[in-house]
Amino acid sequence: MPASHATDPTSPSTPYADFYRRSIDEREAFWAEQAQLIDWQQPFEQVCDARNPAFARWFVGGRTNLCHNAVDRHLAERAEQNALICVSSETGAERVYSYRELHAEVQRMAAILLDLGVRKGDRVLIYMPMIAEAAFAMLACVRIGVIHSVVFGGFASHALASRIDDARPALIVTADAGMRAGKVLPYQPLLDEALRLSQHPPKQVLMVNRGLAELHPVPGRDVDYAAARERCLHAQVPCEWLESSEPSYILYTSGTTGKPKGVQRDTGGYAVALAASMRHIYLGEPGQTFFATSDIGWVVGHSYIIYGPLLYGMATLMYEGLPIRPDAGIWWQLVEKYRVSVMFSAPTAARVLKKQDPAYLSRYDLSSLKALFLAGEPLDEPTASWIGAAINKPIIDNYWQTETGWPILALCSGVEPTAVGKIGSPGRAVYGFDVRLIDELTGADITEPNHKGVLAIAGPLPPGCLQTVWGDDERYLKTYWSSIQGRSLYNTFDWGLRDAEGYTFILGRTDDVINVAGHRLGTREIEEAIASHPNVAEVAVVGRADALKGQVAMAFAVLKNPALAASAEQAREQEQALMQIVDAQLGAVARPARVCFVGTLPKTRSGKLLRRAMQAVCEGRDPGDLSTMDDPAVLQQIRDLLG
Ligand code: AMP
């Protein structure tokens, strides 16, 4: 059976079904066409080398550059058009850069990096708030063939240190502070601590001073960005032409171990995949404005704040702040002001807005806006209907992962404008993705509709997906390509279900990863942080469904000295102490909603932690078969604690 038959998103011939089939059955011709969406300094010799599907290489022999495609090549046609619009509702700053100005700023930043001795193939770690210099730094890195590793500015010192040690950057680019809800969040104390903890600290730090927090520059280590920029005002730095498979960046994501995985991305495949997705999925139009509300520390920030829109000749709006400050009209006011044509956000943001007066959402002229795309976590029907009605625009769900870099399941309205979604489903398999549903026990393809299975993808993955786990091919193969019974398929670690028309529904993760407000967190990382407290003997963290954030983390700890949490007040103090440890090591984003103290954790007789049973109890569900459980009374204690 040809690969595509297992995944045909629709049986009859529709424009999208034909497009999809071609992407799988005539892979080379299909992607050679899409590759025309970007410039190549040297044409590729082969579209896809898939001899080893897990390590497929796209556009072999072709030479290109992400920064050239995102910036330089637009100068001829749109030098004076908006490229980067930076708005902070926290500081009130608003800066707009045309393509010409962006080109100049990126070259200045590239010249600074080169002056500091950074060279092709080196890593630069970017630990930044949502300011223009973060975008300059990313684009400057890829311009000179330097691999960037952006670390979310909300992560704290341990999380930062583990990423420093894995990526071993030659330099860190950072700022004095971020700001959230009116509160200044100084970065230097976190960075100093991370550098102290790290085994491989870089020698230099480039500091952007926003004037928000006091800086204590370390002589010989810290370089002031403004002064360095002055020296490079007229810099001209040519693009370094990279072979298509040379890496562009590393982006860390959580897995089931405490050690984050560095998703490594190529150059040419990523550029083609993003440019094509702007056209076929995201309704992009060169010259228009794209507004993704994510953060550059996450994959949506990489793909759809920075690279996707710029590769496609659009202006991109980069926003620092909350969706409800100064009021819930702020995003929509920006849509009106900058004539935003496409918006991309997460369901959690829509749920936050749902708590506000809906009048804020209809106060502004949204006539430029074509649609609002939502991704990153399950989109529930009430939220989708509410926001759709409030802004009177199509709401388009799409499903993907840090690993893939662009959608696996979506509607592809750019190919078939009449395509309509189904409530609760992010859509059908996206062109290029040979999506399979797999029987968990046998590893066989599930072909009949409406059966739950593990969502997997047959190799090769389309262009733009992860090439490997940075520095660890073995972990890459073991984690992603060897975890499905007897098959070499890419495992998404999500449960799925497909109906007769190919619409796929996501039913949650198969592993211990949780998704809090669209942010992916490894429960193991949170456990490690809590376990580092001297009074914690053992801890388990599970995700609990939450009406606002999708999921929240719940921690259950066994104390070495339970007497320290004997009274309600002491227990509250212990709980606070453990939450603070998570804040200090990982960042507030990972803080559990509750830490409960238990006498023992629910385990099987062989000592395996029963996470799913704990999660079920947290959510008030039946924990299922407990015959292998050592002591079922433990679950009752958890039930009692949660009241
Ligand atoms: P991340 O790598 O942080 O983008 O997280 C990816 C995970 O988020 C996926 O494996 C899913 O579990 C979940 N996810 C992303 N988008 C969706 C969606 N549209 N519907 C349901 N779950 C989603």
pLDDT tens by residue, 136-171: 999 999 999 999 999 999 999 999 999 999 999 999
Residue 11: predicted pLDDT: 57
Q: What are the pLDDT digits (tens) for 268-318?
A: 999 999 999 999 999 999 999 999 999 999 999 999 999 999 999 999 999
**How far, in Å, are 28, 309, 320, 611 from residue 45 at the CA level?**
11, 27, 42, 49
CA of 433 to the centre of ligand 1 (A): 16
Helix intervals (H) in 369-522 = 381-391, 473-476
Strand partners, 469: 263
Residues 260-270: what's their mean pLDDT?
97
The structural domains of the chain, with segments of one domain joined by +, span 3-37+399-509, 63-321, 513-642
Q: What is 63-321's CATH number, 3.40.50.300, 3.40.50.12780, 3.40.50.150, 3.40.50.720?
A: 3.40.50.12780
* Ligand 1 nearest atom to the CA of residue 300, by list position: 4
CB proximity list for 640: less than 8 A, separation 6 or greater:
none
Q: What is the DSSP string of 197-222?
A: H-SS--SEEEEE--SSS---PPTTTE
Ligand 1 test: best mutation among 422, 505, 520, 589, most atoms within 8 Å of CB? 520
Strand partners, 609: 603
Residue 2 has pLDDT above 60, yes or no: no
CA of 300 to the centre of ligand 1 (A): 11
Residue 7 has pLDDT above 60, yes or no: no
Residue 424: predicted pLDDT: 92
- What are the tokens at 325? 């400050």
- What are the tokens at 611? 């996470």
Q: What is the DSSP string of 147-204?
A: EEEE--TT--HHHHHHHHHHH--SEEEEESEEEETTEEEESHHHHHHHHHH-SS--SE
CATH fourth-level superfamily of 513-642: ANL, C-terminal domain (3.30.300.30)
The span from the CA of 111 to the CA of 223, in Å, is 14
Residue 525 has pLDDT above 70, yes or no: yes
Which one, of 546, 545, 543, 549, lies nearest residue 521 by Cα?
543
The span from the CA of 603 to the CA of 614, in Å, is 10
Residue 451 has pLDDT above 70, yes or no: yes
Fold held by 3-37+399-509: Luciferase; domain 3 (2.30.38)
Identical fold, 3-37+399-509 and 63-321:
no
* Ligand 1 nearest atom to the CA of residue 403, by list position: 2
CA of 23 to the centre of ligand 1 (A): 23
Give the number of C-alpha atoms closer than 13 A to the C-alpha of residue 419, restricted to the C-beta side: 27
* Ligand 1 nearest atom to the CA of residue 379, by list position: 20
Pocket of ligand 1 (CB under 6 A): 253, 299, 375-379, 397-399, 401-402, 426, 492, 494, 506, 509, 515, 520
Q: Please state, for a pLDDT cut of 70, what percent of the chain lies above it.
A: 98
Residue 323 has pLDDT above 70, yes or no: yes
CA of 400 to the centre of ligand 1 (A): 6
Residue 9 has pLDDT above 70, yes or no: no
